[in-house]
Amino acid sequence: MTIRNTPHTRRSSFLRRAKWIATIMAASMALAGCTNAVSETATSSSAETAPVISGDICADYSGKTIGVVHLTSADENEGTLVAALRQASEKAGLNWTFIESDSQGSAAKSQQAISAYVNQGVDAIILMVVSARDVQSQLQDAAAAGIPVFGQWSFSALDPLINSDYTVPMGMEAADLATYMYSDLYLQHPEGDIEVALVNSSADIFGPRVQIVRSLAELYPRIKIVDSADIDFTDLNGSTTRIAEAFMSKHPDLKAIWNIYPVSVTAAAQAVIAAGKAKDIAVYGPVAQSVGIAALADPENPFKAMPWMDFDYESFKTVESILGKFAGLEANRLEAFEDPAPMKLFTKETAYQLNGEGVASGIGWTQNQGAWKDPMVKSWGASFPCS
């Protein structure tokens, strides 16, 4: 997977600040359903070298091979997560090898990837934005082979075949974005109805985002959700563009387009620009990758706000969870709620902070420029010694 560096951005000061309500909503992640998964293309990407912090981590845990099953390489954020996995391994002196399969949005290809990893005899498997519901038979095979499975945005944290999934609960970031969006629109349009359309997905893994954006709309009487259409994961940019164009054609008074998925955000914004409505229709959506960072920093682009999760923190915690499994410790399946990864909502006024400082891939944001990384890794020596 190719990791692209994004240029540092500067503060845009021309927009006025909008007040926003900080709402925390816990989303309950039951055995999550699945997205379309992708084609099995085994890939290997390189992380930037990091100074090794040798500690007292048991040498028995080094030299492992971890298989990563991606939903789609079209999502740059998945590459950001893998870069941080590699960096955590390097800092800890573990020398793990991460091999990757790109499912290209196909459940069948996710299944094939897991079967290949089981046959290969990897030491652990990570489902990255791939739900356990699509791969139950293959997860049973992994369990029979003694191969633990972990999730990163698998939305399957309670599935008994998943050891653990340390991911920002989707309901939290969805509530943050939705409350900001509605508050921002109220301030921008102080009178009359405010029409909003949803670039959506029927995949049940995104259920918390959909439920929250619809439920919170009820708290804002002037917000009217006038339309919704589902993206095609095999044609993310094309389907998003067509959906946004249809929204604008059907709803001449449309004021905002909300997006459920990172890749669709900038495609929707480009469709708005192409229609000459960049000053009339605002675009919102989650973690929209390096192109989204550039769009957010551009004062002429209609993209207004996005939450950004600390992907590096999530990946370091995933490495910690894998070490815990190797050490025979019981996983805390609710840790993502009890000790959640850092998250922050960024707007045009704060886009300059998405400068990649301390991020393994050089893209986006990590809390305190990653100053937390070395202390976390050093703590593993005491936590995972040889028994």
The CATH number of residue 249's host domain is 3.40.50.2300
18 pLDDT more than 80: no
Residue 303: per-residue pLDDT: 98
- 57 conformational bin, left if phi > 0, alpha if psi -120 to 50, beta if neither: beta
Alpha carbons 32 and 214: distance in angstroms, whole number: 20
What would the mean pLDDT of 322-336 be, rounded to a whole number? Answer: 92
Instruction: List the end-to-end C-alpha distance of the chain, in Å, as a whole number.
Output: 37
What would the mean pLDDT of 248-273 be, rounded to a whole number? Answer: 97
For the ranges 136-140, 192-196, 270-274, 286-290, which has the lowest average pLDDT? 286-290
Alpha carbons 267 and 249: distance in angstroms, whole number: 16
* Residue at which a domain ends, from 309, 331, 355: 309
Residues 203 and 302 in one domain: yes
36: tokens are: 């379309």
Alpha carbons 245 and 51: distance in angstroms, whole number: 49
What Rg, from alpha-carbon coordinates, does the chain have? Answer: 21
Residues 92 and 221 in one domain: no
The count of structural domains within the chain is 2
Which residues share a beta bridge with 224? Answer: 195
372 pLDDT more than 60: yes
Residue 168: per-residue pLDDT: 79
Domain hosting residue 289, numbered range: 170-309
For helices 107-120 and 136-144, give the axis angle rounded to 10 degrees.
10
In a domain, 57, yes or no: yes
Q: How confident is the model at residue 364 (pLDDT cuts 50, 70, 90)?
A: very high
Q: Are 237 and 199 a contacting pair, CB within 8 Å?
A: no
Residue 273: per-residue pLDDT: 99
Residues 177 and 305 in one domain: yes
What would the mean pLDDT of 176-186 be, rounded to a whole number? Answer: 98
pLDDT tens digits, one per residue of 135-176: 999 999 999 999 999 999 887 778 999 999 988 787 889 999
How far from the centroid of its chain's Cα atoms is residue 351's Cα?
Answer: 18
Residues 322 and 378 in one domain: yes
Alpha carbons 19 and 79: distance in angstroms, whole number: 33
In a domain, 333, yes or no: yes
The rounded percent of the chain whose pLDDT value lies above 70 is: 86
Q: How many CB atoms lie within 10 A of CB 189?
A: 16
148: tokens are: 């633990």
Q: Which H helix or E strand runs over 196?
A: strand 194-200
For the ranges 51-55, 219-223, 331-335, 338-342, which has the lowest average pLDDT? 51-55
For the ranges 73-87, 102-116, 195-209, 312-326, which has the lowest average pLDDT? 195-209
180: tokens are: 């900001």
Residue 53: per-residue pLDDT: 64
In a domain, 53, yes or no: yes
In a domain, 359, yes or no: no
* Residue at which a domain ends, from 309, 329, 353: 309
Residue 51: per-residue pLDDT: 54
In a domain, 186, yes or no: yes
pTM of the model: 0.84
User: Which residues lie closer than 8 Å to 24 by C-beta, 6 or more apart?
Assistant: 172, 175
240 pLDDT more than 60: yes
Alpha carbons 176 and 166: distance in angstroms, whole number: 19
Q: How confident is the model at residue 381 (pLDDT cuts 50, 70, 90)?
A: confident
Greater pLDDT, 317 or 203: 317
Beta strands, E only, the chain: 42-43, 65-70, 97-102, 124-128, 149-152, 164-165, 194-200, 223-230, 254-259, 282-284, 303-309, 343-347
41 pLDDT more than 80: no
301 pLDDT more than 50: yes
Residues 163 and 224 in one domain: no
Residue 34: per-residue pLDDT: 33
Q: Are 111 and 135 a contacting pair, CB within 8 Å?
A: yes
Residue 171: per-residue pLDDT: 84
Alpha carbons 154 and 39: distance in angstroms, whole number: 17
Alpha carbons 141 and 104: distance in angstroms, whole number: 22
Q: Which H helix or E strand runs over 7?
A: none
In a domain, 268, yes or no: yes
Query: Three-state DSSP class for 303?
Result: strand
Q: Which DSSP string do the residues of 91-136 spell out, in sequence order?
A: HTT---EEEEEE-TTBHHHHHHHHHHHHHHT-SEEEEES--GGGGH
Q: How confident is the model at residue 12 (pLDDT cuts 50, 70, 90)?
A: very low
Residues 283 and 304 in one domain: yes
Residues 292 and 334 in one domain: no
Residues 183 and 196 in one domain: yes
Q: How many CB atoms lie within 10 A of CB 139?
A: 24
In a domain, 302, yes or no: yes
Residues 79 and 197 in one domain: no
The residue among 223, 226, 224 whose CA lies nearest residue 183 is: 223
Q: Are 243 and 199 a contacting pair, CB within 8 Å?
A: yes
pLDDT tens digits, one per residue of 50-108: 555 656 788 899 999 999 999 988 899 999 999 999 999 999 999 999 999 999 989 99
Residues 139 and 161 in one domain: yes
Alpha carbons 380 and 364: distance in angstroms, whole number: 26
Alpha carbons 209 and 206: distance in angstroms, whole number: 6
- Work out the mean pLDDT of the chain and round it to a whole number: 86
Greater pLDDT, 59 or 198: 198
1: tokens are: 């997977």
Greater pLDDT, 270 or 333: 270
In a domain, 15, yes or no: no
State the DSSP code for 175: H
Q: Which H helix or E strand runs over 239?
A: helix 236-250
State the DSSP code for 370: G
Residues 126 and 201 in one domain: no
Residues 213 and 290 in one domain: yes
362: tokens are: 């050089």
The residue among 297, 265, 294 whose CA lies nearest residue 282 is: 265
* Residue at which a domain ends, from 289, 309, 329: 309
What would the mean pLDDT of 241-256 be, rounded to a whole number? Answer: 99
Sign for the pseudo-dihedral over CA of 75, 77, 83, 89: negative
Q: How confident is the model at residue 116 (pLDDT cuts 50, 70, 90)?
A: very high
